[in-house]
Amino acid sequence: MIEESEYVKRREKLAKSLRSNSIAIILSASAKIRSNDTEYPFRQDSNFYYLTGFKEDNAALVIVRAKKAYESYLFVQEKDKEQELWHGKRLGVKRAKKCFHVDALFGSSEFESKIEKFFTKSHYLYYDFKGESKHQDFLQKKAKELLALYDIAPFIERMRLVKSPAEIELIKKALQITKEAHHRAIQKSPALAFEYELQAEIEYAFKKRGAYSDAYTSIVACGNGANTLHYIANDKKLRKDALILIDAGCEYEYYASDITRTIPVSKKFTKAQRELYSLVLDVEKEIISMIKPDILRSKLQSRAEELLCQGLVNLGILKGEAKELLRKKKHKKYYPHGIGHWMGLDVHDACPYKDAAGKEISLQDGMVLTIEPGIYIDKNDTSVPKRYRGIGIRIEDDILVTCSGHENLSADIVKEIKDIEML
């Protein structure tokens, strides 16, 4: 649970980073149509949520910065009996006044008229024009009256890089649930016939424990399906002799988890599967062990590529001298993606990888990232020994950078061969 006092501090920090005589407008997400007149479940915009913790749509946060002082205002949708009958209760302006420590609270219907007034005092506008909003045309038009326009998103996303203790607690909670889901999948897989059945078992575990949603569409890929990196069809039969790659994580109170385990459908790894799996696991563990403050993500990437390339040579999958193959990027065919990404309110947390000067941001205490090496060998790749074809393996954990090094937040989700087989 994140207290209102923490949101107040975030708004204050953002306000202080704005120019004098400016206005910042951060809008909530808008409902999205799924088909005809039915909507997807509403999910708040991550930046808006980071600054308010408010989960309703048709809302806006406005910060008006004078020379030094600033004021913050929140717009929330008004109570409306007819709308609430269909879509559920709204907080409403009166109750919102008690929940949010802002300088003033207004109904959303007042948004454009209030903004007109604030604009007369402002020279600069901070706004996220990527978002979709019914106020887009109005704001585009108004922006032309000002001296300059800035994208607000990078200011917020930089703040989101380092997680607070309360945020880390929520990520840990998400991971507890995700752990149960993955362990359930490992136990259930020998008795199931289709990928989607396994997906259902995982998502049952998410919902059963009160996770709002998955943090991304679960990937449940048996055999060669795992070689499609974002495979989400999840509609194939589970082949008894194959591996299943399960990349699934729940979202808990808006915080993501992102875990991949690769397990045998039946109870045991074959020898070839074991060889490839051990390579990926050893690399994953070594890269995690390197994590500490000041190290660069690119260093983790290059070391992972080096180790995977050497491993592919050792298994006879790549032929030649490892250094030369690495230089020619021959390993990319079997490991085509990044070593990991920031994780938080978004599974691929929308935080920057470079600072304002274009320099890579090093890892610091409080940042959370995934580590996810993999090897993917297409079933039709005749250049590879036959026994390895059609195997895709990824192992992914979620790591907190700490002042003394790191904490693997998903350390108790099994990944050793013997532990998977035993479970």
Residue 128 annotated among the catalytic residues of the structure: no
Residue from 216, 269, 334, 342 binding ligand GLY (CB under 6 A): 216
Q: Are 350 and 343 in contact, with CB atoms under 8 Å apart?
A: no
> Is the C-alpha dihedral spanning 136, 142, 148, 153 positive or negative?
negative
The number of helix segments (H) and strand segments (E) in the chain equals 13, 19
Helix (H/G/I), strand (E/B), else coil: 161: coil
Residue 54 interaction partner, one of ligand GLY, Mn ion, none, beta carbon < 5-8 Å per kind: none
Please state the closest distance from residue 201 (CB atom) to ligand GLY, in A.
18
Q: How far apart are the first and last CA of the chain?
A: 33
Catalytic residue among 195, 376, 389, 406: 376
d(CA 83, CA 126): 32
Q: Are 206 and 181 in contact, with CB atoms under 8 Å apart?
A: yes
Residue 216 interaction partner, one of ligand GLY, Mn ion, none, beta carbon < 5-8 Å per kind: ligand GLY
Give contact residues for Mn ion (rule: CB under 5 A): 247, 258, 260, 370, 396
Closest to ligand GLY by CB, 316 or 353: 353
Question: What does the block give as tokens for 239?
Answer: 């082949």
CB atoms within 10 A of CB 51: 23
d(CA 71, CA 391): 57
Residue 397 annotated among the catalytic residues of the structure: no
Closest to ligand GLY by CB, 246 or 313: 246
Please state the closest distance from residue 179 (CB atom) to Mn ion, in A.
15
Catalytic residue among 251, 396, 397, 398: 396
Catalytic residue among 3, 103, 151, 230: 230
Per 3-state DSSP, the chain is made up of helix, strand and coil in percentages (nearest 5) of 40, 20, 40
Report the residue count for the chain: 423
258 binds ligand GLY (CB under 6 A): yes
Residue ranges in 358-417 that form contacts with ligand GLY under rule CB under 6 A:
372, 396
Residue 406 annotated among the catalytic residues of the structure: no
Residue nearest to ligand GLY (CB): 247
Residue 135 annotated among the catalytic residues of the structure: no
Q: Are 398 and 163 in contact, with CB atoms under 8 Å apart?
A: no
Closest to ligand GLY by CB, 76 or 220: 220
d(CA 266, CA 244): 10
Closest to ligand GLY by CB, 216 or 388: 216
Catalytic residue among 43, 95, 123, 348: 348
d(CA 354, CA 361): 5
Residue 331 annotated among the catalytic residues of the structure: no
d(CA 119, CA 123): 8
Please state the closest distance from residue 79 (CB atom) to ligand GLY, in A.
39
247 binds ligand GLY (CB under 6 A): yes
Q: Which residues bind ligand GLY (CB under 6 A)?
A: 216, 247, 258, 347, 372, 396
Residues belonging to the active site: 37, 230, 247, 258, 337, 341, 348, 372, 376, 394, 396
